[in-house]
Every structure is written in C-alpha cells, then in structure tokens.
Amino acid sequence: MKSYDVAVIGSGPGGYVAAIRCAQLGMSTAIIEKYSTLGGTCLNVGCIPSKALLASSHHYEEATKHFEDHGIEIPGEIKVNLEKMIARKQAVVDQTTGGVDFLMKKNNIDVYEGLGSFIDATHIKIEGKDAGEIEAKHTIIATGSKPSNLPFIELDKERVITSTEALKLKEIPKHLMIIGGGVIGLELGQVYRRLGAEVTVIEYMDRILPTMDASLSKELNKVFKKAKFKMMVSHKVQSVERKGEEVIIKAENKKGEVVEFKGDYCLVSVGRRPYTDGLNAEAAGVKINDRGQVEVNDHLQTSASNIYAIGDVIKGAMLAHKAEEEGVFVAETLAGQKPHIDYNLIPGVVYTWPEVAAVGKTEEELKEAGVAYKVGQFPMRALGRARAGGDIDGFVKIIADKSTDEVLGIHMIGARCADLIAEAVVAMEYRASAEDISRMSHAHPTYAEAMKEAALAATDDRALHV
C-alpha cells in the first residue's frame, strides 16, 4: 500500500491548489477524484464554462445590438449556432482541466481516479478506475458541493434542470423560467436572454442578489428590466410540474395570490449543498453538522485532528478563490507555518454585464451593527472611458468609517468591475482610508477612475467630475 504525507479528496480549486502547495512544501501528495477530469465544479460545470457562455453570448449581443452604434454594419442576418457555442465552451473546459493534469505531473502529485472513502483516519479506499487503498498521515477533504433543490421539485434534468444541464442545452429555450435570483440564475439567465429566450426570474426574497449591497441589486434590476427580463421578486414557489414539453410553476406572491408561470425550461438555482456522499466521514471520526457541512475549527481542522477540510464542503462563501485560499492555508499549516485568511476580504463577483463586484461590509450590515459610516458614490456614465466604450451603466460606492475614514466596504457595478474589485481588496488589505485611495493616481481614461472619484466623494464630498 502506498503511503503519503497528504491525501487530498476532491480536485476542485480547493483540492488541486492544496495539493500543489503541499507538494511545493516538500510533502508527498496524492489527490483522489471520482470523475475522469480534474478541476471539480469550477472547471467542469461552474466558473469556467459559465464564463465561456457569457463571453460568447456577449459577443452575439454586441454584434446584434451595438455594432451599428459604432458604425459597423454586417450585411445579412447574424445567427447563433448553439451547438458550436457549446462545443467551444467544452473545448475551453477541456483545455483548462488538461492544464490541471499538467500541474499535477509537474509537481509529482499522484492522481487516483475513483471515489475516495475513509476506512479509518489514516486509510482511504478508492473505488473506480484506480481502485485500491492508500495510507495518509494527513487528509484534506475538498469534496465541494452539488446543486440544492426544493423538496417538492423533481429535477428531470431535461426541462427541469440545474446549472449543470443549463451549460449544455441543445436548443435555446423559448421561455426559461429561473427559480432563484442569485448568482447562477442571473449569469445563466443573461446568457439565454441574450440568445433570444424569454427569461423570468422567480425570487423568494424582495430583491435579486439579496446578500449583496441593496444598491447593487437595484441597479442590476434596472438594467435587466431594460433587457426585458421578467423579475418576480417576493414570490414563493409552491410547485413545479412538467407536462410534456411544458413546465408549469405555481408561486405565491406578497398578497398571498397564486401566480402561474408557463415555459419550456425551468432552471432551479436556489443555492448549493455541501457534498459528502460516499465519503464515510464517520469512519474517520469526522463530524458533519446539521447543515451537511464538514465541521472545522479556525485552523480548518475537523474533529479528527489529522484531517482538514476546505472549500464548499465547509462553512462560508461557496467561491472558487475562497476554496483556493483555504487549500494554501491548510498546506502551510501542515508545514508548520502560520497562515491567515481575512474572510471579510474575499471578494464576490457576478459576471453579468454590467459586472457586479463587492468586498467588505454592505450598508445593510453596517446599519445592523450600528457602525457610523459615510458613503461616496460615483456613476460610471460620468467617465470619459465609459462613454468612449459605450458601457455607461453602474457606479462605484465606497463606504468608510465616519470618524476614521477607514474603508469598510466597496461595492461596484459596471463594465470590468470583476477586475476593478482587485484594487478595492488591495486597499482594504492595507487598511486604506478613503482619502488614501483618492490621493493615488489612476490612469486616464479608465473605469478605475470611478474608484478615485468615489473615494473623493467619501472623503469630503469632493468628486471632481460630477
């Protein structure tokens, strides 16, 4: 039986990054993945394929709706070839998962294909292509998550689908009904809306993106409504029924009335659940809490002291970069280092267009905590670069402590915000004040100037260009 310093179960962004960092630190490392491709949800059926489809559908929308404004005329009809679009997405996925194979080889990490389950705290059984047993001094559980469902919905995966199926549809839906106005619902909803589907979003809470700063929800809602999305907030879904090629959803609105929606596809995107099926965690003494998460302490150590857990399978945001940080954190802890993660500074991004991004506290959270704060906000439309590019929706909003001026949260919506948020994270990591940001030179003309202007507005209401 082969013996390792560390075995990692699951090869998503948490698991494969943990394996690389363990190997870099001189530990003999194995990674076990039940599927034939590495990369987990993120690379196979999450971040990467959804961004590929968002990019393709964005190009289509530009060509059909905005090229003309730029004086570009395309004779003849512009058409979508969905099969080709999905094939391109798959090629991007294949190339990216292949990159993880390369990284495993480069770092001398042994890859086992098969379902990993604990025999005891130091032995793991592998069932599948590379069946067998290995021994590991330490194990990192990185088994990720799967889509959640509502108890009364039967997911037939043809017409009543999750994100996994929505990434490989064979036709553009006529009417895509989406349950859940969170990140997946809005990103994939935008893909199919751009391609011509009618899209209805049915959200239980009183706004889309209910965990983000309310100003972002409001602005994105405005843009989506302009794009003729039907936004049904404060609707509680009661039933989903498939009749032939039709799906019928019944939901209760705020007034207590039952509203019926009919369409040809229903995407259920109401969150994801931690995944530990088949892991046999109890054999190793690893506790799973009543939310299905592997229970960990501040060192990400489970109730079995030689076993750690990271990523979607534990508490916290279900984000690829959070999983990656935790993978590095555990590897460095095992090597005797003292790593640190500031969970308040893990940014959140929604890759719609305009992009939505945030880091730190929302205004609602600060109000609730009774913190005195001030806000500086600057509209993208006041930027020369936004007008030159034609992407004028959105704003940057900086929230700072009222007395110390320390930045407490940055919330933005607009073109390229997914990348702009990195400046906000850096500023907050160094505990910048709003004035610090306002005194740094920002290249002109860029979207990043909105950060400087919002910081000026927060400092003492002295934005220059409004």
Q: Which burial class, exposed, middle or buried, applies to 280 when counting CB atoms under 10 A from its CB (0-12, 13-18, 19+)?
A: middle
Helices and strands of the chain, counted as H and E runs: 13, 22
Q: Which residue has the tokens 């363990």?
A: 22
Binding status of residue 433 toward ligand FAD by CB under 6 A = no
Query: Hey, which residues between 396 and 455 contact ligand NAD (CB under 6 A)?
Result: none
For 340-361, the DSSP string reads: ---GGG--EEE-SSSEEEEEE-
- Taking the complex as a whole, the smallest distance from the CB of residue 172 to ligand NAD amounts, in Å, to 21
Both structure tokens of 50:
């959804």
CA distance 251 to 259: 5
350 binds ligand NAD (CB under 6 A): yes
Output 327 or 379, the one with its CB closest to ligand FAD.
Answer: 327
Per DSSP bridges, beta strands 2-9 and 29-33 are: parallel
Provide the mask over 163-182, with x wherever binding to ligand NAD is found by CB under 6 A and - wherever it is not. ----------------xxxx
Interaction of residue 358 with ligand NAD, rule CB under 6 A = no
275 scored as a contact of ligand FAD (CB under 6 A): yes
Cα(365)–Cα(411) distance, integer angstroms:
13
For ligand FAD, which residue of 8, 11, 405, 449 counts as binding (CB under 6 A)? Answer: 11
Residue 294 interacts with ligand FAD (CB under 6 A): yes or no: no
Interatomic CA distance for residues 89 and 169, integer angstroms = 12
Of residues 264, 312, 332, 355, which one binds ligand FAD by CB under 6 A?
312
CA 37 – CA 35 distance, rounded (Å): 6
**β-pairing, 236-243 with 246-252?**
antiparallel
Provide the β-strand partners of residue 209.
none
Map tokens 């592997």 to a residue: 294
350 binds, among ligand NAD, ligand FAD, none (CB under 5 to 8 A by kind): ligand NAD
Q: How far is the CB of 373 from ligand FAD (least distance, A)?
A: 27
For the CB of residue 112, give the shortest distance to ligand FAD in the complex, in Å. 8
What is the smallest separation between the CB atom of 211 and ligand NAD, expressed in angstroms? 7
If the CB atoms of residues 31 and 237 are measured against ligand NAD, the closer one turns out to be 237
Q: Which of residues 246-285 bind ligand NAD (CB under 6 A)?
A: 269-272
Tell me whether residue 317 or residue 464 sits nearer to ligand NAD (CB atom): 317
Q: Give the number of residues written for the chain.
A: 466
426 CB-near residues (< 8 Å, 6+ apart): none
DSSP 58: H
Which of 24, 35, 223, 303 forms a contact with ligand FAD (CB under 6 A)?
Answer: 35
Active site residues: 444
Instruction: Give the binding site for ligand NAD (CB under 6 A).
Output: 150, 179-185, 187, 202-205, 210, 237, 269-272, 317-319, 349-351
